[in-house]
Structure 1
Amino acid sequence: MRYPSGRPWLLGEWPVGDVVVAEAGSSLLALIGRCPVNAEELALRLRGMRELGDTEQTEQVVAGLPGSFHVVVSAGGRLRVRGTASAVRRVFHAESDGVTVAASRADALAHAVGAVMDEEQLALHLLSSPPSYPFGEHRSLWRGVQAVRPGHALLIGPDGRATVRPWWEPPEPDLSLAEGAENVRRALSLAVSSCTANRTGNHTANRTVISADLSGGLDSTTLCFLAARGPARLITFHWASLDPGNDDTAWARKAAALLPDAEHVAPEPSDATLWFSGLGDVPTATDEPGLWARDSARLLLLARLMTRHGSRLHLTGGGGDELFGFLPPYLHAHLRSRSLSALRQVNRTRVMRRWPLRPLLAELSDRTTFADWLATTARRITDPPLPARPRTGRVPSMAWEVMPQVPPWARAEAVDAARTLLREASSGTHEPLAAQRGQHAALSAARTCGRAFRVTEQVTAALGLPSAAPYLDDNVLTTAVHPDVPGELLARSTKGEYTADFHQALHRNKAALNRLVDDSHLARAGLVDTAVLRAHLAKPELPPEAMRALDTPWLARCGCAAVPPRKAVLPRKEPRDLHPSTRGLHSPDRERDRPAR
């Protein structure tokens, strides 16, 4: 996409229908992603914009548009770029010869400017992947490549220099349950409609085909029933658990029977699709580590089956648990806002979950600030972790976040680097995402899920199957699905358990994991002790902390093919030679346009 001057404005490779550009005088507006709007409607909105620097005015141009997309505006010699508040779509920027260049992927930008890996940031990924707020909000994994915080926009002036301003903040929780439920039911319906709409512009073409996970859980089940109402033909996909006690498959079959117009695909479980199978088989790189590496074989099979059935977009229920699940910090905040009703709710929860009173009162009365919590976390990252799911009778933490721990195979250098960054954050200007712990916890969980989905989508898109997570669209805040999902499915009160799947996958794939250790980028960077890691893999039964570390952070590190050896400098390449899934580079309109070529 070019400026009126003919110089390059946007550079990238996108699916058909993923870019809508409008012009109004000398102003340009591009939406890159999923949004059912045409250029004419967008141009009408653009004509009402008076001043690019007025963030609120700029947001009015796209206010109310459903979907998930980047917004890029050029007006008055200035450029404005922003992603989504959920971190599903992010913005990164770097300086080249005094000119700021923005991109939707940090690795493409790092290659373009010859950036070097930031090993301190890499060490943080040993704690959790992706790291929770505030880490990864300002810095990428490459030195000199800055990240724009979710909910903030990048402004590039005529002189090529950049500033960052907020465009989104969490709404106050001042609606009744009924009002909020109806607002979000409508927002979620529009989000799914943006997935089922015909975005190619060819209305004579065959019926659009989309696919969706149907795990049996309420989040994915809801998306399937909303998608079934749209014009697209629906294909559902279900992975069966190896645990006969897991009732997800039974609920998925009930839902499938109530979706007679959809096609249902459920491959038989096999060793070839166990977790940790197919490590290294996915032929793509991601711009930060992600949990997809554990699911390499499953992602390959999913993409092959769904593209064979003609799917152009795959829907996932990611974000449902994060937005709508029970978060213990909510009770801490609720007690301070509605004390009488909150006391009754706290007591009901305590009785139902059999929490002892004294530890519960200690959690509820805790007044630790977010900065103090970060400082405490820095001291305790090597403490033995508490059980992931507290036993009956154990009161869960109601702190700002779940306290992370380093895995037992992290070297002292990695622990020191992580502690240093945690201490710097505690003494800096990082405020919580909301004043109330419950709202902060929900927003942080949604952003973390958004970053994780973003990286997984980089993989599936490279395999020919773009993905969408409608729960993480900006207009979706909470849930209300009673009019859209059969009541017999809403009555489910159980949750699928996948411990048996993990144990069998680890048993069958220990040899592959050991081979991965032989070529560990993290070991060469001095962050992982391979001897300790091998010793844990050799054990017949892993302790809980090692299981959790294998299940998430360590494998994810090795899944990022873009991680270079220690002190390596990435080769300098033209952007078009980097990654076929690169979604865009943006630079201001000026004579020095070399970074945009």
Structure 2
Amino acid sequence: MRWFGGCAPGKQPVAPVGARLVWRDPPMWTVGDDVPGHLRTLERPNGKLAIFGPCSATERDLELALSSRAFASAAGEWAGSYTAVGVGPTGTVELVTDATGASPVYTVATPDGHVWGSSAFALASLAKGTVDTDWMGAYLRERNAPAPGGHSAWAGVRPVPPGHVLAWRPDGTPSLTQWWTPSAQPAGAAVAALRWALSEGVRVRVEGVPTTSDVAGMDSTTVALLAARHGQVTGMTLHPADVTDGGDLRYAQALGDEAVLLTRFPLTTRHLPFAEASVPLPATDEPAPSTAVWAMFSEQLRAVATAGSGCHLTGDGGDNLFTVPPTHLVHLARRGQLLRLVRDSMDWARLRRQDPRPLIAAALRGDAGRIGRTKRLRPTWLTSEIPEPVMTTTTDPDALLVASIRNVARAAKSELQLADALGVALHNPYFDGAVMDAVVSAGAEVRFSARRYKPLLADSFADVLPRAHRRRASKGVFVGDFHQGLRLNLRHLLTLADGRLAAMGLINPDPLRATMHAAALGARTVWPPLLSAIAAEAWLAAVERGPRTEWAKLHQAGAQ
């Protein structure tokens, strides 16, 4: 697994066995093969800094950030997805997390001081090395609701909040402050900011690197075309093997860009959800969202690796940013714009085939958190020890969007770890902090439309996307594949019901088996909690198989 980390100053340092040192004072290291250009350092008499991850900063930008009195703000404004670390002349260390949490950082307290790193799984062997049951219970109940504050999937391993700076004095005393907050700007300025952030985020990943990209919906197509400005891109479109036209294939063929070499990845029954993969599921920091489709995803990754890709781009995160519920209704109610409130409520309700009255009532109450959110019934297989999720009640649509993006972006890191295990550098530019900052700055009323598909993205890249893509209004639905995949693999899936989650006292096997049987027969199924249970069980098996990180005192660690 490729990851990085370090120790707080002031005490006896430790390091992973076999790590490569970036600095010895304060101790900082990398593990795994470094991606060229994704580790940058600068050392001057007034301090030093390190940037981990793809970042648009120029050498001049690094110089200015190092000399800035507000290092966190200066180092957090660049495009890309990265973690910045600065060391002052007195030995104070500042660790700056990205705004979205797509590059998560964790800490663990040891008798020798605090250790931080980009992998919770790697740090877990310094703590108890056991799964945090509170986190797991929250994940099983509602994976899109916040986990208990200060928890990761591993007991004793604490996440550093996104958009914060964790600082240590020379004696190791820590402090935590917030450096990023949403800001507002006119729609035109937000469009320009989004165009810069996504374009630069793609550029710093693909320049001089053999690049592949998903080419399917508007999101992945946009990043593929942006990448094509810097060299040849191999675009990959997934499609059912018996379908040779229409759907995503039709939109891919409409690109008309010679810099994007289109390829197809036909899907057969062996790629169905829950099918047995030829590659065991690798261990990751937490259950990966793609666990149910690992048979398909792993074959796609191997095809990408065979193509010699040094960077594979996805459109993940685009739906979360640009297909948003009408939380702006709260603002309309507050300003007394009742005619538009009713009109937008009716448009959304018609689109979703639901009653508009609950939307209007929630807007008048100022409860943005209940708009566009479907409350799921408690799954029958969860035990009583798992509490109900804590749903945010807020009047701030921006805060809701930020919380949603952060939850999804953190989970997406496990997808990058899956790809890394197969030798693929996977990238999700839509989870970049500068991209989220630009989208949030546009305001909820600009982001929402029931009449146009992803208007903010379409307006920002009107000259990049072909007309057919700008006018696209939907994407594929694959619920039928999940029913079929579960039916074909039911025997194996039923054995998971009596597995590790049951032993932890988190699920009741009989109701879970009954739900699986019903889904296999095609009954209407609430998939998210069922997928969470299956993913968690597979993840627990993976981390049992996965090698644990070995640690030693720095002078004994064999660090290079």
- Normalised by the shorter chain, which TM-score bucket? 0.7 to 0.9
Tell whether 2:407 aligns with 1:448: yes
Spell out, residue by residue over 1:412-455, the C-alpha distance to the aligned partner (whole angstroms, 9 max, x if none): 23x3xx24xx5xx68xxxx87xx644223322221122022111
Provide Cα deviations, 1:233-277, integer angstroms capped at 9, x if missing partner.
211111115897995324433335x13332222222212211111
Equivalent in the alignment of 1:59: 72
| Structure-1 separation of matches of 2:345 and 2:200 | 37
Aligned counterparts of 2:244 and 2:497: Cα–Cα separation in 1: 33
Provide the secondary structure at the position in 2 that maps to 1:403. coil
Tell me the CA shift for residue 32 of structure 1.
Answer: 0.6
- 1:21 corresponds to which residue? 41
The aligned runs of 1:10-409 (5 Å cut-off) are 10-13=29-32, 14-25=34-45, 27-37=47-57, 40-41=59-60, 44-50=63-69, 57-62=70-75, 64-75=77-88, 76-129=90-143, 131-133=144-146, 135=147, 138-172=150-184, 174-175=185-186, 177-198=187-208, 208-215=209-216, 217-231=217-231, 233-241=232-240, 248-256=247-255, 258-278=256-276, 281-337=279-335, 339=337, 342-343=340-341, 345-346=343-344, 349=347, 353=351, 356=355, 358-368=357-367, 397-398=370-371, 402-409=374-381
TM-score scaled by length of structure 1: 0.78
How far residue 465 of structure 1 moved from its aligned partner, in angstroms, is 0.7
Give, as a single letter, the amino acid of the residue that structure 2 aligns with 1:113.
A
Residue identity opposite 1:268 in structure 2: P
Percent of aligned pairs sharing the same letter: 24
How many Å separate the matches in 2 of 1:226 and 1:513? 41
Residue type at the aligned position of 1:529: N
CA contact (8 A) 1:407 1:545 kept: no
Distance 1:37 1:439, change over 3 A: closer
Name the structure 1 match of 2:28: 9
Q: Give 1:363 shift.
A: 2.7
Aligned to 2:167, what secondary structure does the other structure show?
strand
Deviations 1:38-57 (A, max 9, x none): 6x44652355234xxxxxx1
1:205 alignment counterpart: none
- Correspondence 1:507 to 2:520: no
Please give the per-residue CA displacement for 1:321-347, whole angstroms capped at 9, x wherever unaligned: 111113132323343257267447536
Structure 1 position 96, deviation (Å): 1.2
After superposition, the C-alpha distances for 1:364-417 in whole angstroms (9 at most, x for unaligned) are 2224597xxxxxxxxxxxxxxxxxxxxxxxxxx517x5535542211223x3xx
* TM-score of the superposed pair, with normalisation by structure 2: 0.82
C-alpha distance in 2, partners of 1:100/1:15? 26
CA distance in 1, matches of 2:254, 2:99: 32
Cα displacement (A) at 1:161: 3.0
Distance change (3 Å), C-alpha of 1:465 and 1:44: same
Q: How large is the Cα RMSD of the aligned pairs?
A: 3.3
Give the residue type in structure 2 aligned to 1:44.
E
Task: Give the Cα separation in 1 of the matches to 2:22 and 2:349.
Answer: 64
Q: Deviation string for 1:111-167 (max 9, x for gaps)?
A: 1234433212211110233x433x255211233221111111211222223221111
Instruction: Tell me how far 1:512 sits from its aligned partner.
Output: 2.7
Match of residue 586 from structure 1? none
CA distance change for structure 1 residues 145 and 64 in 2, over 3 Å: closer, same or farther?
Answer: closer
- CA distance, structure 2, for counterparts of residue 31 and residue 328 of structure 1: 37
Q: Which moved more, 1:522-531 or 1:275-284?
A: 275-284
1:488 alignment partner AA = A
Matching residue's letter, 2:196? R
Closer/same/farther in 2, CA of residues 44 and 283 from structure 1, 3 Å limit? same
Question: How far 1:281 sits from its partner (Å)?
Answer: 3.5
For structure 2, list consecutive stretches of 5 or more residues without a partner in the other structure: 1-19, 440-456
Q: Aligned AA for 1:305?
A: A
Which protein, 1 or 2, shows the higher relative CO under an 8 Å CA cutoff with sep ≥ 6? 1
CA contact (8 A) 2:362 2:368 kept: no
1:402 to 1:152, Cα distance in 2 relative to 1, 3 A: farther
Contact 1:331–1:438 (8 Å) recurs in 2: no
Deviations 1:564-586 (CA, angstroms, capped at 9, x unpaired): 79xxxx9985249xxxxxxxxxx
Corresponding residue for residue 392 of structure 1: none
Output the CA distance in 2 between the equivalents of 1:561 and 1:293. Answer: 12
Quote the Cα distance in structure 1 between the aligned partners of 2:36 and 2:410: 24
Shift of 1:9: 2.4
Please give the alpha-carbon distance, in whole angstroms, between the structure 2 residues aligned to 1:192 and 1:44: 23
Contact 1:409 1:528 in 2 (8 A): yes
Letter in 2 for 1:65: W
Q: Secondary structure at the match of 1:268?
A: strand
C-alpha deviations, 1:179-238, integer Å up to 9, x for none?
A: 32222122211111122223xxxxxxxxx31111112x111111111111123x211111
Equivalent AA in structure 2 for residue 145 of structure 1: V
Q: Which has the higher strand share?
A: 2
Q: Is 1:412 aligned to 2:384, yes or no?
A: yes
Equivalent pair of 1:291/1:452 in contact (CA under 8 Å): yes
CA distance in 2, matches of 1:492, 1:88: 28
**CA deviation map 1:495-533 (0-9, x unaligned):** 322122222212222123124345x22111111122222
Q: Equivalent residue of 1:264, what SS?
A: strand
Range moving further from structure 2, 88-97 or 445-454: 445-454
Shift of 1:34: 0.9
Does structure 2 conserve the Cα–Cα contact (< 8 Å) formed by 1:246 and 1:496? no
**2:56/2:201 contact within 8 Å kept:** no
Displacement after TM superposition at 1:355 (Å): 5.9
Structure 1 residue matching 2:27: 3-state secondary structure = coil
- Decide whether aligned partners of structure 1 residues 6 and 329 sit closer, same or farther in structure 2, where only a CA change above 3 A counts: closer
